[in-house]
Amino acid sequence: MKYALVTGGSRGIGRAVCVALAKEGYPVIVNYLSNENAALETKQMVEAEGGKAELLPFDVSDKDKTDTALDAWQEAHPDDYIATLVNNAGIRNDTAMVFMDDDAWHNVLHTNLDSFFYVTRRLLKLMLTKRWGRIINVASLSGIKGLAGQVNYSAAKGGMIAATKALAQEVAQRKVTVNAVAPGFIDTDMTAELPKDELVKLVPMRRFGTPEEVGHAVAFLASDKASYITGNVISINGGLYT
Ligand code: NAP
């Protein structure tokens, strides 16, 4: 059976992606770091839609923990494979570059970009062998245009977008597609402390997006309907200039 793994599926965009993929018929693996209650809530939401969800906590920024968790999952599911991977887990730690300490740089790069490498590399082999796969990377507007105060985050997301384009060309012949979505401002815990009243004035649609609006685009890219789309970045930002 073809499974979908959503990193950072416990909350926000990842949760909406889990629900949207379940509606597409995927059994969903919900990854998260530590928030088990939120992950269980995601599982319930998937099940309420008639879908199937399993929890698989591990730290995506840690290579060994990632390999261990994914090896264990595969051992428990000898006849299944993870055909769709959504690299969604992410953090931000904003500060002007002159004040940015080493941790703020490395933690953001490890969680947002190294994770893409660790998780994708581990799952790619079976996608190539089975000759069908979908990799969808949740990047950001910051990775396209760059954002002041987010040099670390912009570097990570920009790197993710370039890696999306490179990998897409490597694996296209095996029917594995690799795409990214680049959300603008989306209503989640990550944006809860931002000055929303000011920021919406920058958005032509005059509102933040919903996690579900990102989830729908990801579910489309994961479907058979998107079979000829690869190496692309879909902006989901209410018309914010990119
Ligand atoms: P969020 O509400 O803060 O949720 C973050 C998710 O990532 C949680 O499920 C969290 O797990 C998980 N996570 C964090 N570090 C992890 C780690 N080391 N290992 C495994 N899981 C980890 O964030 P969000 O707004 O939904 O963002 C999701 C993605 O969209 C991120 O990549 C973000 O950069 C991107 N994005 C967001 C926006 C926006 O406006 N919200 C815009 C553009 C791009 P726990 O629940 O266990 O903490």
Would the pLDDT of 237 be above 80?
yes
Q: Please identify every residue annotated as catalytic.
A: 153
Q: What is the mean pLDDT of the chain?
A: 98
Distance in Å, CA 8 to ligand 1 centroid: 6
Distance in Å, CA 46 to ligand 1 centroid: 18
Q: Is 226 in the pocket of ligand 1 (CB under 6 A)?
A: no
> How does pLDDT run across 200-221, given as a tens digit for each residue?
999 999 999 999 999 999 999 9
| pLDDT of the residue at 186 | 98
Q: Between the CA of residue 114 and those of 87, 117, 120, 159, what are the distances in Å?
A: 11, 5, 10, 10
| pLDDT of the residue at 171 | 98
Distance in Å, CA 230 to ligand 1 centroid: 24
> How does pLDDT run across 219-234, given as a tens digit for each residue?
999 999 999 999 999 9
Distance in Å, CA 130 to ligand 1 centroid: 29
Q: How far is CA 19 from the centre of its chain?
A: 14
What gap in Å lies between CA 86 and CA 88, rounded to an integer?
6
Q: Is 88 in the pocket of ligand 1 (CB under 6 A)?
A: yes
Which tokens in the block code for residue 216?
A: 């729908």
> Tokens 């989306």 map to which residue?
186
Which tokens in the block code for residue 237?
A: 């930002």
Q: Is 215 in the pocket of ligand 1 (CB under 6 A)?
A: no
By three-state DSSP, how is residue 172 classified? helix
Question: Closest residue (by CA) to atom 8 of ligand 1?
Answer: 8
Would the pLDDT of 174 be above 80?
yes
Q: What is the mean pLDDT of residues 9-32?
A: 98
What gap in Å lies between CA 13 and CA 136, rounded to an integer?
13
Predicted confidence band at 241 (pLDDT cuts at 50, 70, 90)? confident
What gap in Å lies between CA 124 and CA 168, rounded to an integer?
12
Percent of the chain topping pLDDT 90: 99
Q: Is 186 in the pocket of ligand 1 (CB under 6 A)?
A: yes
Atom of ligand 1 nearest to the CA of 59: 19
Would the pLDDT of 242 be above 80?
no
What is the DSSP code string of 104-165? HHHHHHIIIIIHHHHHHHHHHHHHHHHT-EEEEEE--THHHH--TT-HHHHHHHHHHHHHHH
Of 1, 3, 4, 2, nearest in space to 218 by CA: 4
Distance in Å, CA 164 to ligand 1 centroid: 19
The sheet with strand 176-183 has its strands ordered as: 53-55, 28-30, 2-6, 81-87, 133-138, 176-183, 233-236
| pLDDT of the residue at 232 | 98
Which tokens in the block code for residue 239?
A: 């018309």
Which tokens in the block code for residue 240?
A: 């914010």
> How does pLDDT run across 66-114, given as a tens digit for each residue?
999 999 999 999 999 999 999 999 999 999 999 999 999 999 999 999 9
> How does pLDDT run across 69-80, given as a tens digit for each residue?
999 999 999 999
Atom of ligand 1 nearest to the CA of 12: 26
- Give per-residue burial for 25-42: e unless 16+ CB within 10 Å, then b: ebbbbbbbbeeeebbeeb
Q: Is 138 in the pocket of ligand 1 (CB under 6 A)?
A: yes
What gap in Å lies between CA 84 and CA 23, rounded to an integer?
14
